[in-house]
């Protein structure tokens, strides 16, 4: 359960924010302005998700990394967890 929350925390937060905004905006009578505001909130949250999600990991083999190390050029190694 902890792993699920860790990997999907941003999506869960966005879902909670969207449900809160929908509850506040649509609590009373539903008019056109409130539905447009909810659509704007949806667009902003979707844009935030697409801009802030991490880039996919490139598939670089260990042999390619070893070939670059010691070839006379400085190498910066950055390791990221897949989970």
Element (H, E) at 70: none
Q: How far is CA 58 from the centre of its chain?
A: 18
Model-level pTM?
Answer: 0.57
pLDDT of the residue at 61: 78
pLDDT digits (tens), the chain, 83 positions: 778 888 788 889 889 999 998 898 888 778 898 889 889 989 998 998 888 877 776 777 778 777 777 777 777 777 776 65
On the CB side of 49, CA atoms within 13 Å amount to: 16
pLDDT of the residue at 16: 93
Extents of the domains making up the chain: 2-68
pLDDT of the residue at 83: 56
pLDDT of the residue at 63: 80
pLDDT of the residue at 69: 79
């Amino acid at each position: 359960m902890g792993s699920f929350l860790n990997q999907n925390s941003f999506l869960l937060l966005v879902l909670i924010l969207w449900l809160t905004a929908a509850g506040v905006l649509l609590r009373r009578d539903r008019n056109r302005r409130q539905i447009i505001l909810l659509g704007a909130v949806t667009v902003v949250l979707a844009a935030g998700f697409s801009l802030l999600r991490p880039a996919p990991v490139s598939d670089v083999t260990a042999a390619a990394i070893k070939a670059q190390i010691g070839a006379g050029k400085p190498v910066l190694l950055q390791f990221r967890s897949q989970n």
